[in-house]
Chain A
């Protein structure tokens, strides 16, 4: 078990190292470096930038350093929590990111829990009541759930909420709670704003996981030990929940690896539409203003989130399934 965890951990570190190279390459990809944008920004504000100042700034930011040195500077800073300087916001990237990353993680985890809580019972029902009316309805809803782009779903749901529930949507709080201290009212208000993003982000994954659950359970229900249990006279609900579902859950744990990227991408785009203060809007804004240090740090962070999530799911799978920890 320990060797398994250590091996996965080393893979995780290697993966993160490669991703950091990719992020760094993207930071440096746009034509013109960040400094020339900084200088043109200063000039547009009316400041005169002399050749000496340019040279000093270039030295400070190490523009003429070889790229490996720049990379090393960036990545060592990264490890120490210093992600570089945002040129448009004029403050350290780290101060921009942390709070938003927290909300992103909260939304992604919340949606993962919702997706699991919904997809397991629905999948079980769908598999045990195959091809009847509710199963067909569920199948149809699944196709639509997979097919609707998240931003569209968010937009439609938001419009409907404004029209029929009269609630103010978008953002985290209503305007009068924006700067108020914490109170019960603010808490309720927060939840009034969070249900739409949670539904939207989890919709696609719920649909997908329900299909996975249904297919898994159908596979397991066809196996001989289930037949044996039924032949012994075990009550049907016990056959399903105790014998079959338990074994159909393993692939679901494995799919965390495919669900997590969906959730992180979904969270990003939904937050942009709903104007939530998470990493999504920050990423798109920094990309549009070519504030590449912010963008690179965010890409790195989101990837790290995913890699750590995958690592956790691998370990979890090894805990529940001895074949995996002993097989490798």
Chain B
């Protein structure tokens, strides 16, 4: 049978506008042509910037968070996001405690008559920047007794904004790392399969078909559920990454095989073979460098699916588990509709998931169009 396309067929290339037909196409390096083509896609360029910002946020998470991500606060369970106001600078409304006589419990109400100014680069909780530089400085802090809850608080009174930043560290890296491992496996097997052809190829292709015919999510769920629940956060993180890549490599291998297959029948490979190059030399000096850009573009397109997978697994309670924080773990607090209805800010981390995934998708699309700059 014919191979099933695993990614959307690229759109036919638009005709190059006349002002872009340049004479230096044959003289400048290929990567510069690719960058030039990539820049033509505005959405992809914007997405790159957004992703850089997201990763910087993850890197500087502790500096940007006004509160410790795991500090509980029994007085601020499900506290609403702080309301912003202006008083000689950005400020938030003070929280005032009052007694709800019907429910007989203390509740908090924003009192915008008494704005609390935001201090920039003020002192807050102690932490180590990049894990080495001890400091107390934070981007935004508020005075004693008040709490800056930009995106509200969860059921334990923990700051959702700070938790989202901390969660970004896991959620944004699991995808990249998982895809990196999957790409390494996929590229190796795909190259072997495409170069040696014959029985090896048939056997590998059948094997890949079998892997692809197990529904991904149930397989991921089962694999993740097999992990003991009491392992350390780092160990679990690594194992989840490996599980995600174990399933993802098959599709990549298939695409790499297709590319290698078309390259290995080209004239310059035949020339190299005629000149007496060994298979090893042909693979490492001709095939791999030539398909690298395609491999990277395909890998980029696999990142969003991996991010979604981690989020879904953690949401269902078999991926990352508390006390680890990831976007999926944060969203697992929002499983009940009644909770979401009452405290809609619990869903804010979801916006981050969607943002990151859309950006990766657009960058991947842009790269796929850019890797063939001579077209």
Interface residues of A, Cβ cutoff 8 Å to B? 8, 11, 14-15, 18-19, 22, 26, 29-31, 143-144, 146-152, 155-156, 158-159, 162-163, 169-170, 208, 211-212, 214-216, 218-219, 222, 251, 254-255, 257-258, 261, 264-266, 268-269, 272-273, 283-284, 287-288, 290, 295-296, 298-299, 302-303, 305-307, 310, 314, 317, 324, 328
User: Are B357 and A328 neighbours in the complex by a CB distance under 8 Å?
Assistant: no
CB distance from B75 to the nearest CB of A (A): 27
Per-residue A-contact encoding for B1-42, CB less than 8 Å = 1, 0 else: 110111011111000000000000000000000000000000
Across the interface, B308 reaches (CB within 8 A) one of A149, A222, A324, namely A149
With A19-B213, A269-B316, A310-B213 already in contact, the answer to whether A155 and B12 are too (CB < 8 A) is no
Q: Check if B185 is an interface residue, CB within 8 A of chain A.
A: no
Per-residue A-contact encoding for B339-375, CB less than 8 Å = 1, 0 else: 0110010010010011001100110000000000000
User: Are B225 and A303 neighbours in the complex by a CB distance under 8 Å?
Assistant: no
Across the interface, A152 reaches (CB within 8 A) one of B228, B304, B331, B361, namely B331
CB distance from A267 to the nearest CB of B (A): 9
User: Are B4 and A287 neighbours in the complex by a CB distance under 8 Å?
Assistant: no
With A170-B337, A215-B10 already in contact, the answer to whether A149 and B362 are too (CB < 8 A) is no
Across the interface, A302 reaches (CB within 8 A) one of B218, B312, B357, B361, namely B218
Chain A residues with Cβ below 8 Å from B103 are none
CB distance from A253 to the nearest CB of B (A): 10
Chain B residues with Cβ below 8 Å from A299 are 214, 218-219, 222
CB distance from A175 to the nearest CB of B (A): 15
CB distance from A298 to the nearest CB of B (A): 7
Q: In chain B between 135 and 157, which residues have their CB closer than 8 angstroms to a CB of chain A? A: none
Chain A residues with Cβ below 8 Å from B337 are 155, 158-159, 162, 169-170
**For the side of the interface on B, what is the size category?**
35 or more
With A251-B5, A283-B218 already in contact, the answer to whether A15 and B213 are too (CB < 8 A) is yes
With A15-B210, A261-B216 already in contact, the answer to whether A147 and B361 are too (CB < 8 A) is yes
Q: A25 CA to B251 CA in the complex, in Å?
A: 23
Chain B residues with Cβ below 8 Å from A146 are 304, 361
CB distance from B187 to the nearest CB of A (A): 21
Q: A287 CA to B11 CA in the complex, in Å?
A: 42
With A19-B210, A163-B341, A211-B8 already in contact, the answer to whether A26 and B223 are too (CB < 8 A) is yes
User: Are B312 and A155 neighbours in the complex by a CB distance under 8 Å?
Assistant: no
Q: A144 CA to B350 CA in the complex, in Å?
A: 13
Q: A254 CA to B2 CA in the complex, in Å?
A: 9
**Smallest CB-CB separation from A272: which chain B residue?**
B316
CB distance from B353 to the nearest CB of A (A): 7
Q: Which of A214, A251, A261, A324 has the most CB atoms of chain B within a 10 A radius of its CB?
A: A261
User: Are A152 and B353 neighbours in the complex by a CB distance under 8 Å?
Assistant: yes
Chain A residues with Cβ below 8 Å from B10 are 215
User: Are B304 and A251 neighbours in the complex by a CB distance under 8 Å?
Assistant: no
Q: Check if B221 is an interface residue, CB within 8 A of chain A.
A: yes
Chain A residues with Cβ below 8 Å from B5 are 212, 251, 254-255, 258
User: Are B8 and A264 neighbours in the complex by a CB distance under 8 Å?
Assistant: no
Tell me what chain A mostly uses at the interface: helix, strand, loop, or mixed.
helix
Chain A residues with Cβ below 8 Å from B215 are 261, 264-265, 268, 302-303, 305-306
Q: A218 CA to B2 CA in the complex, in Å?
A: 21
With A26-B223, A257-B4 already in contact, the answer to whether A11 and B12 are too (CB < 8 A) is no
Across the interface, B12 reaches (CB within 8 A) one of A148, A218, A307, namely A218
User: Are B12 and A222 neighbours in the complex by a CB distance under 8 Å?
Assistant: yes
Chain A residues with Cβ below 8 Å from B341 are 159, 162-163
With A162-B341, A284-B316, A299-B219 already in contact, the answer to whether A254 and B210 are too (CB < 8 A) is no
* Interface pairs (18), CB distance under 8 Å: A18-B210, A26-B222, A147-B308, A147-B358, A148-B354, A148-B357, A152-B331, A152-B354, A155-B334, A155-B337, A211-B8, A265-B217, A268-B221, A284-B316, A287-B221, A287-B318, A288-B317, A302-B218
Q: A149 CA to B331 CA in the complex, in Å?
A: 12
Q: A290 CA to B222 CA in the complex, in Å?
A: 10
Q: A158 CA to B337 CA in the complex, in Å?
A: 7
Q: In chain B between 274 and 329, which residues have their CB closer than 8 angstroms to a CB of chain A? A: 304, 308, 311-312, 315-318
Across the interface, B361 reaches (CB within 8 A) one of A143, A170, A317, namely A143
Q: Which of B214, B216, B362 has the most CB atoms of chain A within a 10 A radius of its CB?
A: B214
Q: A212 CA to B210 CA in the complex, in Å?
A: 24
Across the interface, B347 reaches (CB within 8 A) one of A155, A288, A317, namely A155
User: Are A151 and B315 neighbours in the complex by a CB distance under 8 Å?
Assistant: yes
Q: Check if B206 is an interface residue, CB within 8 A of chain A.
A: yes
Closest 4 CB pairs of A and B: A265-B217, A287-B225, A147-B357, A257-B4
Chain A residues with Cβ below 8 Å from B347 are 152, 155-156
Chain A residues with Cβ below 8 Å from B304 are 146-147
Q: A255 CA to B184 CA in the complex, in Å?
A: 26
Across the interface, A151 reaches (CB within 8 A) one of B210, B225, B312, namely B312
With A156-B347, A212-B8 already in contact, the answer to whether A22 and B214 are too (CB < 8 A) is yes
With A143-B362, A170-B337, A307-B213 already in contact, the answer to whether A149 and B312 are too (CB < 8 A) is yes
